[in-house]
Amino acid sequence: MPPVLLIAGSPSAPSRSTALLDEVAARLARRDIETLPLAVRELPAGALLAADVSQPAISRAVDALAAAPAVVVATPVYKAAYSGLLKAFLDLLPHGALKGKAVLPLATGGSPHHMLALDYALRPVLQSLGARHILPGVYASDAQVALTPEGAYQLQAELAGRLADAVQALAAEGLLQHPRMPAGPGFAPVPFASVRCSV
């Protein structure tokens, strides 16, 4: 199965939104689900802004998304919307780029008041790209993703629990299940003339 694509829409690294993405990646790995990170900030800026899908790095990113059975998108919230960097990437995707895929949106912002950006800004764009199922998003305020003295981010227990539930829901999606063993041989066909019934 191709890996789940993890899209980091933050213009900075490290970042709180990427910390959420890292937690999801770790939890998927525990379920033997492979992931592939895509940091949009590492794509060539000129090609990204010009929507030049012929540029090799952009082309590889679009191909990775096309192959992925599911996508996790993480973004900081700026001015009640997802990042402009993520918008530039989503804008260059072809119509129906998310068709047949499950999508888990993640976001971080300065206060709980920005939580609605997931539903009112990001979700409509994901729907317009044809996502099969958009899972309930996970939003975290900056206070819930604390910066440690060592420069790492630490998630509050309640937030970690919500991410665990989100990963459970994502893993339950049919496209992420391990393929079943092929069914064994069935019964031999029975001629109609030999069928006996009673009433």
Q: Is 36 exposed, middle or buried (0-12, 13-18, 19+ CB in 10 A)?
A: middle
Residue range 163-182, pLDDT digits in tens = 999 999 999 875 554 443 34
- Per-residue pLDDT, averaged over 6-22, amounts to 95
Q: Is the pLDDT of residue 148 over 80?
A: yes
The confidence band for 199, taking pLDDT boundaries of 50, 70 and 90, is very low
Residue range 32-41, pLDDT digits in tens = 999 999 999 9
CA distances from 48 to 17, 64, 125 (A): 21, 16, 18
- SS3 state at 73: strand
Tell me what percent of the chain is helix, strand and coil, each rounded to the nearest 5. Answer: 45, 20, 35
Taking the domains of the chain in order of start, what are their residue ranges? 4-179
- Per-residue pLDDT, averaged over 150-164, amounts to 93
Concatenating the DSSP letter of every residue in 77-132 gives EETTEE-HHHHHHHHHSPTTTTBT-EEEEEEEESSGGGGGHIIIIIHHHHHHTTBS
- Considering the chain, what percentage of its residues have pLDDT values greater than 90? 71
Quote the pTM value.
Answer: 0.85
| CATH no. of 4-179 | 3.40.50.360
Q: Which residues have C-beta within 8 Å of that of residue 6, sequence separation ≥ 6?
A: 21, 24, 25, 35, 36, 37, 38, 71, 72, 74
- Per-residue pLDDT, averaged over 6-20, amounts to 95
